[in-house]
């Protein structure tokens, strides 16, 4: 007998169990990962997740979703599947690749989380990788000539630095002085987080070998510049526009790195004795004009808040990807949040630590999860980022350490959707 089209299907709670990442490196011949394969970086993350969670049987993993913006070479060949095989997971574990530029890992998380909520999966691994040394941004891309001939987008939309300059044009109150001050603060906050051992626990040590140099073990991020001052940043050139405002100092660099996370249904986490670091509340993606792609987190956050029945005042922590300082400040100004609000990027952000494109979404989640543990007074937090070609992504999470967490879980457990089996 076929199931009724009107049958009710429970929507299951999705929890963030654990997340790790490699130290982030500088792209290029002098970077720590020059000569290292991108897929090997992902494999290190998957293996570390399995090592850190011994109660998770490998054959209970239902899917591996790995994002990469440039899906060729060592980032191609359906990297979710190849990474699963290379990591030693059972051959019964499927995998796939995903691309949403900078929000690749974030989309890998939300896509597989939707499968968990629907009941298709119990446990998944989701993450991302970008080796921008092996695959420079835009390498091998062939944009359709209609983009230009039919003026579908402004030519600036295909260069992320130009879109950041456009954002400055749109919001003249966001001056270069403000972006430089924000960038210097990001460097200082990351240095402070390192000194307090708030970053290191999420890092997977990576050994590399270079000709003539032998082996080296990398246990911390390469891009940070602790001690950076506003005066230092004021001296940098503006490569995207003469007398512009965007510099290498108030924007994320070109980086290499990988991330991965375990997500599960609340029931599977309880069954397997897995930790619960966060509960997924809602998520949303939004499109904006490609030539000002940095504004994307604003409508994405508004949609995610509406879906969750929350307001911006309910959010106690923000992890905002710092592709450009102007992009973060446009978000803060829209929601009436001060540049130095202590809820925002407590450990610093991508301006300091780096932004290996498709991997960064899980880094934001790792840092939010750790802050949740440190601050049980916070109930809800956001991870959000802008995306090339004019998009934004936001995920809202709930803190399991908050006093009201259990009551909210019980309430959500009663949620059903009509016609889900149709």
- pLDDT of the residue at 355: 98
* CA 31 – CA 385 distance, rounded (Å): 25
Burial 63-102 (b: 16+ CB within 10 A, else e): bbbbbbbbbebbbeeebbbbbbebbebeeebebbbbbbbb
Q: Give the largest Cα separation in the chain, rounded.
A: 73
* CA 213 – CA 190 distance, rounded (Å): 29
Taking each helix axis from N to C end, the angle separating 325-334 and 297-308, rounded to the nearest 10 degrees, works out to 40
- pLDDT of the residue at 2: 53
Six-digit token string for 140: 């091998």
Does this model's pTM top 0.85? My answer is: yes
In this structure, what DSSP letter does residue 286 have? Answer: E
- pLDDT of the residue at 413: 56
Radius of gyration of the chain (CA): 21
Domain ranges in the chain?
10-134+153-397
CATH code: domain 10-134+153-397 is 3.40.47.10
Cβ-based neighbours of 142, under 8 Å, separated by 6 or more: none
From first to last of its 422 residues, the chain has per-residue pLDDT tens of 455 555 567 899 999 999 999 999 999 999 999 999 999 999 999 999 999 999 999 999 999 999 999 999 999 999 999 999 999 999 999 999 999 999 999 999 999 999 999 999 999 999 999 999 999 988 888 888 898 888 888 887 888 999 999 999 999 999 999 999 999 999 999 999 999 999 999 999 999 998 888 999 999 999 999 999 999 999 999 999 999 999 999 999 999 999 999 999 999 999 999 999 999 999 999 999 999 999 999 999 999 999 999 999 999 999 999 999 999 999 999 999 999 999 999 999 999 999 999 999 999 999 999 999 999 999 999 999 999 999 999 999 999 999 999 876 666 654 433 333 22
CA 390 to chain centroid, in Å, comes to 17
The catalytic site residues sit at: 102, 355, 386
- Checking 85-88 for CB contacts under 8 A at 24+ apart, the result is 86/39, 86/40, 86/43, 87/42, 87/43, 87/46, 87/47, 87/50, 88/47, 88/58
Burial class of 184 by CB neighbour count within 10 A (0 to 12, 13 to 18, 19+): buried
């Amino acid at each position: 007998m076929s199931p009724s089209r009107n049958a009710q299907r429970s929507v299951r709670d999705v929890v963030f169990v654990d997340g790790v990442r490699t130290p982030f490196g500088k792209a290029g011949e002098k970077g720590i990962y020059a000569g290292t394969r991108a897929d090997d970086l992902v494999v290190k993350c998957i293996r570390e997740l399995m090592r850190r969670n011994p109660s998770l049987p490998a054959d209970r993993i239902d899917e591996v979703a790995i994002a990469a913006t440039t899906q060729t070479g060592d980032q191609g060949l359906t990297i979710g599947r190849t990474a699963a095989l290379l990591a030693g997971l059972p051959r019964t574990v499927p995998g796939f690749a995903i691309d949403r530029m900078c929000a690749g890992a974030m989309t890998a998380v939300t896509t597989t989380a939707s499968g968990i909520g629907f009941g298709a999966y119990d446990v998944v691994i989701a993450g991302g990788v970008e080796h921008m040394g092996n695959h420079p941004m835009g390498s091998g891309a062939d944009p359709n000539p209609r983009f230009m001939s039919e003026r579908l987008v402004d030519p600036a939309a295909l260069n992320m630095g130009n879109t950041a300059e456009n954002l400055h044009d749109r919001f003249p109150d966001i001056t270069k002085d403000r972006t430089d001050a924000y960038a210097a603060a990001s460097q200082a906050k990351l240095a402070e987080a390192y000194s307090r051992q708030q970053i290191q626990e999420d890092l997977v040590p990576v050994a590399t070998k270079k000709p003539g140099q032998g082996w080296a073990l990398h246990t911390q991020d390469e891009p940070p510049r602790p001690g950076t001052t506003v005066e230092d940043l004021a001296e940098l050139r503006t490569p995207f526009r003469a007398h512009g405002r965007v510099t290498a100092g108030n924007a994320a660099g070109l980086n290499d790195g990988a991330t991965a996370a375990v997500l599960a249904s609340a029931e599977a986490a309880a069954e397997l004795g897995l930790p619960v670091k966060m509960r997924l509340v809602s998520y949303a993606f939004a499109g904006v004009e490609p030539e000002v792609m940095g504004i994307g987190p604003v409508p994405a956050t508004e949609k995610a808040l509406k879906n969750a029945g929350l307001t911006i005042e309910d959010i106690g922590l923000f992890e905002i990807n710092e592709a450009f300082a102007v992009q973060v400040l446009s978000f803060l100004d829209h929601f009436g949040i001060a540049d130095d609000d202590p809820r925002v990027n407590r450990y610093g952000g991508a301006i300091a630590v780096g932004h290996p494109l498709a991997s960064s979404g899980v880094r934001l989640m790792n840092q939010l999860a750790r802050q949740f543990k440190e601050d049980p007074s916070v109930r809800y937090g956001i991870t959000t980022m802008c995306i090339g070609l004019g998009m934004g992504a936001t995920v809202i999470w709930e803190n399991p350490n908050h006093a009201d967490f259990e009551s909210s879980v019980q309430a959500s457990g009663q949620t059903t959707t009509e016609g889900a089996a149709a």
